Structure 1
């Protein structure tokens, strides 16, 4: 049985991992700034769902298989890089698109925001390596389903809390982001950041 001390330590490590800048953060911030709180939180939920999938996969040994089979890991890495590049190009195109009246800069939906968050996390092999290295340290020698589920749900809860907080804080300033010049600047910066993250994912092995 996982002890209380181990649970607290696990929560701390997962929290630090969630707060580190990366594609998940960029997607949640952009959705929140340009489309509002609802889509920002939908993207956050997508990221948290990806975390749950990787945590369960790590506990079940699937992540270990992914990490030890080069072709699988490489395929996920390139797919993730391609998706980040797609999001980056889309943001850069929005930056040069003619201004649209009102706060809505481009079409969007909560489903699309959820998809972006989920795929950014699920197609990031660094998440697999992170949970593969982390979970065994906090699971007992012969973990039961309850131990695995507890840690997985804690990881989801911490991730969701952090990114929902980010979404709500960014959404407060949405009126500022609705201004054409600010919106274009945010699109350009987020697009460049996503492209850079995609290139880093493709070129740097986890």
Structure 2
């Protein structure tokens, strides 16, 4: 890959990361509750991306997307995860401040699990590796190495993106305001519910509409 191809890929990755979605909601919410919880959530998200990257490097992503009904199953699972997390976040909204009796390590582990599950079941991440990545890999000699290099770039780029995101959230001091914490929790829960409901509705419509 030449410099122009790498620049185009970096732009595509930046757009994919910058588009608001479940990952951003989780990181923003976690970062307002503590640096460790925010970092743990981001690490979970990156771990989910690593899973997608490994599947793509092994050629499993292309097989999964081409298998009849496989993408639909992933979309339904992803919608269910988002609806569950959105509901859980809304239930926590009235008392969005971290519970003093709740162990920090437990919250950190919970943030990692939420980040990993959300990204691992995110159809957008799956489609990025299935549709966008191959456009830069091409064919011929060195395709395997280009796949590994691009997958590594995705993981490293995401790690840098979420590090900067957490730093900005802490810099602007959202964590110092209980009202901001509650508002972020409330809006985050609503956002996850909307995204999950939209994904569920579009997937269900695809199943029942004629000609699909």
Mark yes or no: TM-score above 0.5. yes
Give the secondary-structure state (helix, strand or coil) at the position aligned to 1:204: helix
Equivalent residue for 1:7? 6
Summarize deviations over 1:185-206 as a string: whole Å, max 9, x none.
2221111111111112222249
Summarize deviations over 1:103-126 as a string: whole Å, max 9, x none.
524845222212211111110122
Give the secondary-structure state (helix, strand or coil) at the position aligned to 1:128: helix
TM-score (norm 2): 0.83
Shift, 1:8, TM fit: 2.3
Alignment of 1:65-80 (within 5 A): 65-80=63-78
Deviates further, 57-66 or 15-24:
57-66
**Number of aligned residues:** 198
Distance in 1 between residues matched to 2:53 and 2:139, nearest whole Å: 17
Alignment of 1:50-199 (within 5 A): 50-97=48-95, 104-105=98-99, 107=102, 108-142=106-140, 143-172=142-171, 173-177=173-177, 179=178, 181-199=179-197
Equivalent residue for 1:37? 35
Summarize deviations over 1:56-115 as a string: whole Å, max 9, x none.
323433222222224322222121111111211111111234x8xxx5248452222122
Is the 2:37–2:111 contact (alpha carbons within 8 Å) kept by the matching residues of 1? yes
Shift, 1:144, TM fit: 4.4
Distance in 1 between residues matched to 2:175 and 2:154, nearest whole Å: 32
Q: Give ranges in structure 2 of 5+ residues lacking alignment.
A: 207-212
Summarize deviations over 1:139-180 as a string: whole Å, max 9, x none.
141344432221111111111111111112113324434x2x
Distance in 2 between residues matched to 1:187 and 1:155, nearest whole Å: 28
Distance in 1 between residues matched to 2:69 and 2:42, nearest whole Å: 29
Runs of 4+ in 1 over 3 A off after TM superposition: 105-108
Q: Give ranges in structure 1 of 5+ residues lacking alignment.
A: none
TM-score (norm 1): 0.85
The two structures, once aligned, show a CA RMSD in angstroms of: 2.2
Distance in 2 between residues matched to 1:197 and 1:8, nearest whole Å: 30
